[in-house]
Amino acid sequence: MTPKEWLDSERDYEVGRLLYDALGDNKRLKLLLISGDSRYNREALAWEIGKLAKAGVVTSVVAAVTAIVTATPPVVENATETLQTEPAKDYGPDIDRAALLIPLSQARRPLYDERTLLHGSLEVLAEKGTQEEVRQVAERVMQLSRELNANWKIDGYVREHGQLPPASAPEPGFEALTPAELLKKRNNLRSQVSKLKKRTDRADDLAKVEAQLLQVEALLKPAE
């Protein structure tokens, strides 16, 4: 898709953002556009893509990369012989990044759509809904924001390193701790619970910490 084609289309925000990310040169705007679809961001995006269209930019790097990544290889009669005589072309690190970045971008779109919809419903619920309805929607909005932040962190890692971040090593089980270490862990978790109970926006974290506290206390009972 070229800048002019995007302007003449329904102007999908994420498609436009990726288009400008590939063709534009305003780094500050690129960082701003990452924050998501908003009236200001959409207007700024349309303005800048309009400037690209007037400048005669007709090639979309994003479209070109996508075409290479998603292209179906031709069917050959003797695949083994072909591999020996015709090695696969190496399109370089940019293509490897695109193969990882495109699914990440596609995963963000429904999250942004749902969060935008829920933001709108919050205004209505604040006037006509119950406190419980407002709480549930607000928690979902925060959960979506956390998922988007995690997605963008992976996106940033891929752009810098050209690969997905390594999987974090699982934490050792509480069973491996000594009685003294369990006591220290229990005190630490109790302190966390006390602090998190004062934060209505950390309900998910509170539930996790309380679950850990129960495990530690259960392991301490035989020793006590």
Instruction: Give pLDDT tens digits for 20-65.
Output: 888 888 888 888 888 778 887 888 899 998 888 888 754 443 343 3
Residue 100, exposed/middle/buried by CB under 10 A (0-12, 13-18, 19+)? middle
Segment 173-189 shows an average pLDDT of: 85
> Residue 71: pLDDT above 50?
no
Q: What is the pLDDT of residue 95?
A: 62
- Give all strands (DSSP E) within the chain, no chain letters: none
Task: State the pLDDT at residue 81.
Answer: 34
**Mean pLDDT rounded to a whole number for the chain:** 74
Q: Is the pLDDT of residue 213 over 60?
A: yes
| pLDDT over 50 (residue 175) | yes
Q: Tokens for 88?
A: 């696969």
- Of residues 154 and 56, the one with the higher pLDDT is 154
Residue 78 clears pLDDT 50, i.e. is over it: no
Say if residues 143 and 127 touch (Cβ distance below 8 Å).
Answer: no
